[in-house]
Structure 1
Amino acid sequence: MQIVFMNRLCRRSGVDGENFAQLWIGEEEGQWRLGWRDFSGEEETGDSLWYEGGSWNEMLCVYRHELAVKMGDGYRPLIDGVFHDDDNLSSRSQEQLKLQYYSEQYGNEAIFEELCSWRRGKASSERKAPYILASNRLLRMISAFLPRTEEELLQLPGVGEGKVSQYGADWLSITAAAEREHDFPLSWVNHAIDEESFVSWHYKQKELKYKKQLERLRLRRVLLQGIEEGQGMEQLRVLSGVSRREVLEVVEELEKDGYSAEKLIALELSEVSPEEQNNIWTAYELIGDNFLKPVLYKAYGDNFVPADGLDLYYERLRLIRIRFRREHPAALGIVTPQ
């Protein structure tokens, strides 16, 4: 086996002790191997094989995820740049991450719960998804820094003039009653946090990010294999363990990346009449393919309310949209939820 990459890492243990480890990537006849080796002094104390297989992309995802776990536990590389990605954060990004870290450690839980309650009520009254109104990250920051004015709200990452005009008064009415220990601007945060704890937290965030990437990559592989074997939507749902909607979202991704899902499309549309398929296709030609709801009512009529619900019909729209986008690549757009 040829070693193509190796790095040594160190973690402080106790007052004076240090633990060392070695991270390596090897290749032999198109097969990749990825491993971690622990050392105690000059002796090897443990060897773990993280990956063995033929996919460079999957190996790289495993590498980044497992390395983030180790760095979250305190290991640091002797040579920087170990993630093989754009790991250089701007000073502004660093500041925003530190605000997020502080808010997660020192947020006012009572205020956070009140903000979450406000979000549930507002989402219901405006018929919007809660995350569109405000993310958990933003509500955490509001609960930690307790802004008193619109100008202070605007100093929080993720808050713009639009959000302030829509919801600022509501947020400020919630934070007004809480006592706060620090004022704005928030430059004091940089000195209020422990740098090593922040760095470990940052790598924990990377761990979650790379875990999602790895899960997505493996889901794509499972679906590609299932499609090639001639499985339908319900079989793919059971095989992958995700919803039919998520199966379709990944199928759309695969098509964008140059893979073919035609076997699945042909199978799922085999019992849909040519007339119905033609109506959907014509609707896409007339009004475009970015929004599904207008296409649905153009194809089926304004008063279309099937007894068994609309999910099956939206699936048909999305499957036919894949074919439509193959023939009209200029129309390829962002997948928009119905």
Structure 2
Amino acid sequence: MTSSAHITLYLSTHDKIIALPSGPGRRWAETALDLAGFTQNHDRLHTLALDDQSEARQALTHLHQAARDCQVTVTTHPRPFLGDIAQMIVAALPGHWTAETEPLREQQDQHHLRDFVWETGALHRLLDTNQLGCTAILRDGGGTELLLAERPSDGAYLVGALAPSPDDVHLTAPAPRSVIASSARLAARSIQTRLLPDYERAVHISRLNEAEEDLRWAQDREPGTYDTTHLQAALYRFRAHAITFIATLRDKTTLSAEQVFFLDRMEDVLILDDLDDPDPEALAVAEAVWLVDGEELIEMARVATPPAAITPAKPKPLAAAIPPPAAAAATGPRR
């Protein structure tokens, strides 16, 4: 009889064993883990501490006994736990990144994540065609979210961007391409040098496109024909983008005195204190400045568009008589 439930064990770098239950009979696997003394942490992962090796051995013996009784198969995974890889990656990235492991208990959990992956490339296909035990989400605290997954066929790590909320920006720029790496160190380097610059550029271009579209729509309307609700929504979207544009211009460009004065004035006028119930006079002033000077702000922001990431040239292939090093052979080809 083929088991409908499975438990995969990982040896974690944090002196514990991680257990991932899977399969249609996953609840039987969870029962076996509970009977053996595994506990669930804040990430909903079943863990077994290795502080007391005697107790740990006893718990593993009980696990195999309970698994037999519950008709659950147990295997030990030879590669590092993905959550540990995620922690190594965020530790190597600049800024304040965090990593959260996402157990994929049901197939629908995986499909839900797939729908939020921005690029419909390698990472999207991996989630669509493989049953994964877990993934990890990497967050920078400023709204950027990346998804990390391990490819079962060769153990390569795939990292791709999750799409920003449509409430923040309507995405019109090409999605940043996922990166593939054979180690946490290489993944962190590819994220920093390629994925994040492409992500920043795509979001910036999408903001520019949406801000310009809203401004053109408002400028093309005849006076008195505006739908107040639609007009305010367009102004609020522009305001949100303007905040980002101004911050980017101040942080990444050299500004003249006139440009500094212009940005200060735009910020004072557009950033309303109460968006839910704004002062009608302040709203009217913001609308007037938006219609007259919004184009200049967009043009300044367009000049500050981040450059596209430079993909390193592929090295020349080695002579056929010389076999490739093992590390290179284990790395999946870059799309």
Normalized against structure 1, the TM-score is what? Answer: 0.24
Higher helix share: 1
